[in-house]
Amino acid sequence: MGNSKLLKINKAEIELNKLVEFELKSELVPLTISQAEKLFLMIDEHIQTSYEIKEITDYLSTGPSSVQYRLITTVDWVWKNHKGALTKRIQKHMYEEYKIKLSDRFVSAIGNYISSIMPKPTKYYFDITDQVEWTAGTFGDHASCFFDSNNHGRPNSAVTELLWRGGLALRFFKPAPTSLKNEIPIYYNDFIGIGRAWLDPNSLVAPNAAVIHDAWHGSTLSKVYEKTTTIFNGYGLRTYLIAKIMEAFTKTITEEVTHYTRKGSVYVNGDVHPLCKRKYPSKLFVSLFPS
């Protein structure tokens, strides 16, 4: 690749500033929030009608809304990951949290439902770049505080520091409709921006994946898990979806972590949970670990 700049994540080498076309397999495309909520309603109805009260004391004392919140924000909503099929992960979650053993017959029933709504394989176009020269909104990031509304929506000092400290932008595109080609920025001859996230290839993560501090700010943790790559502040596409695309592309494993980057002008604001609906708020920063 000559003098091309390369980013290495796990065993994948990605050339910077080059368009990548990648198809995410059906089994790795996350379910939607409404699909996950319907699954919960199926589970709740089954539990309320199939068990004696003494068998579901923990479940009832927690309350359906809290159970739903915990299920939605804990389970990885793809059909298959490194921990197995989604049905088995739900079964394990319900037992570990509430000591409820979902029957194999019922698990098979929710498996049939999931099969009926499985997303289709989806093609994505993206690049990773060290050149942030666009204005706010070009990549679905109209409201991003990394762009200065008082300076025609140009990147602010936080972006400058992010790039100086080794950070990168992960951008997503779609083929440009002919009608728009003369109205908005065109990339790679025939594409327009639809989303982006920041990518930090120098993160250090604590063993419990609950606290992360990156190498940008030099703070020392008493226990450091490992250097890794973290994706945060997604716009246009869910941060979680962006992470799942990169997980598949780089053959890594994603873990949600809490990320603090408050020192200096680089900061990380709150995101929303993987399924991206405000009633499931969370700071979401997803790290990629070797598989």
Q: pLDDT truncated to tens, each residue of the chain (291 aa)?
A: 456 899 988 788 999 999 999 999 999 998 887 888 899 999 999 999 999 999 999 999 988 788 887 887 778 889 988 889 999 999 999 999 999 999 999 999 999 999 999 888 999 999 999 999 999 999 998 878 888 877 778 887 878 888 888 889 999 999 998 877 777 899 999 999 999 998 888 765 544 443 333 333 344 434 444 567 778 888 898 888 888 899 899 888 776 654 434 335 555 554 433 333 334 333 345 565 565
Total domain count, the chain: 2
Using CA atoms, how far residue 118 sits from 79, 89, 136, in Å, is 8, 17, 34
**DSSP characters over 129-196:** ES---PPTTTTS-TT-TTEEGGGTTEE-HHHHHHHHTT-EEEEEEEEPPGGGTTTS--BTTTEEEEEE
What do you get for the CA distance between the two ends of the chain, in Å? 26
Structure tokens at 237: 């596409």
> Within the chain, what is the greatest distance between any pair of CA atoms?
68
Q: Is residue 193 in some structural domain?
A: yes
Contact 141, 172 (CB under 8 A): no
Q: Single out the residue in 57, 86, 117 at which a domain terminates.
A: 117
Residues 54 and 148 in one domain: no
Q: Single out the residue in 99, 117, 135 at which a domain terminates.
A: 117
Q: Single out the residue in 62, 87, 117 at which a domain terminates.
A: 117
- Token pair 């000591």: residue: 99
User: Which pTM value belongs to this model?
Assistant: 0.81
